[in-house]
């Protein structure tokens, strides 16, 4: 019987996804802070903002921040659990190495 590795093991997977959700929750707070700062900056530079500009700014800043956070957190999740080491490189014998 083979030993489960990385995210195949339910304990490792549960711990990794719990850590991922915790990171995302903290970063959602950071994103909210960035949205507030962006809105303050725009108010300081422009004055009264139209509601459509406020909505676009909130969605744009928050979603961009969270997308970047999610992609980086998934990269760390994959690397930290050993999931990256399970990938087989089928082309390693076909590509010559220049030494």
The pLDDT of residue 48 is 94
Q: Percentage of residues in the chain with pLDDT exceeding 90?
A: 53
Cα separation, 3 vs 85, whole angstroms: 15
The pLDDT of residue 4 is 56
Secondary structure percentages of the chain, helix, strand, coil, to 5: 75, 0, 25
- Express each pLDDT in 63-87 by its tens digit: 999 999 999 988 888 777 776 666 6
Higher local confidence (pLDDT), 85 or 43: 43
The pLDDT of residue 1 is 39
């Amino acid at each position: 019987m083979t030993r489960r590795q990385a995210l195949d093991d339910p304990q490792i997977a549960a711990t990794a996804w719990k850590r991922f959700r915790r990171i995302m929750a903290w970063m959602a707070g950071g994103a909210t802070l960035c949205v507030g700062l962006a809105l303050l900056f725009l108010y300081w530079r422009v004055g009264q903002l139209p509601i459509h500009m406020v909505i676009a700014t909130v969605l744009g800043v928050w979603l961009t921040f969270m997308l970047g956070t999610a992609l980086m957190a998934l990269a760390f999740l994959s690397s930290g659990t050993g999931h990256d080491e399970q990938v087989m490189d089928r082309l390693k014998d076909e590509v010559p190495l220049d030494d």
